[in-house]
A = this chain, B = another copy of it.
Amino acid sequence: MPDAADLERLLRAAGLRVTRPRLAVLDAVHAEPHLDTEALIGASRARLGAVSHQAVYDVLRVLTDSGLVRRIQPQGSLARYEARVGDNHHHLVCRDCGAIVDVDCAVGEAPCLTPSDDGGFAVDEAEVVFWGRCPSCTAA
């Protein structure tokens, strides 16, 4: 769990200005992965007192573009964000409750998998989503 100084360093290293909304959003994404935008707006407000939703949207875009956070969006789910970035891990998604859990990639580096026939594409990433039912939904 990085502290405020770490987060500030991350932003500067990415060539971004350090602002309170950016620190708050980045902190929230580190604190709890796989939150959707609305939850992140809430989490940012808990940290700052007030932020516009537009600011959070802007910050998330900037952070995503500069590679500080990763956006994921399984089918049927809203956009979600996580701070684990650059390790090409994958996700388990529950068909019932939508819960998302990280899975380490067996290989580690992207693309961890190569298509049987790449159709001439220059492939740089293999995104894998494992669909199933989480333990508590299986029980119910």
Contact A73 B75 (CB under 8 A): yes
A119-B104 contact, Cβ under 8 Å, with A75-B71, A126-B128, A131-B127: no
Contact B103 A120 (CB under 8 A): no
Segment touching B, from A12-20, A22-30, A48-56, A108-116: A108-116
Interface residue total, chain A, C-beta cutoff 8 A: 37
Q: How far is the CA of A114 from the CA of B124 in the complex (A)?
A: 21
**Does A94 sit within 8 A of B, measured CB to CB?**
yes
Contact B132 A116 (CB under 8 A): no
A127-B128 contact, Cβ under 8 Å, with A104-B116, A116-B106: yes
**Identical copies of this chain, number:** 2
A139, closest chain B residue (CB): B120
Q: How far is the CA of A115 from the CA of B89 in the complex (A)?
A: 10
Q: How far is the CA of A138 from the CA of B123 in the complex (A)?
A: 11
Determine which residue in A106, A124, A127, A133 has the highest number of CB atoms from chain B within 10 A of its CB, and name it.
Answer: A127
CB pairs A–B below 8 angstroms (29 shown): A71-B75, A72-B75, A73-B75, A92-B123, A103-B116, A103-B117, A103-B119, A104-B116, A105-B116, A113-B128, A115-B130, A119-B134, A120-B134, A121-B132, A121-B134, A121-B138, A122-B132, A123-B131, A123-B132, A124-B133, A125-B131, A125-B132, A126-B128, A126-B129, A126-B130, A126-B131, A127-B130, A127-B131, A128-B128
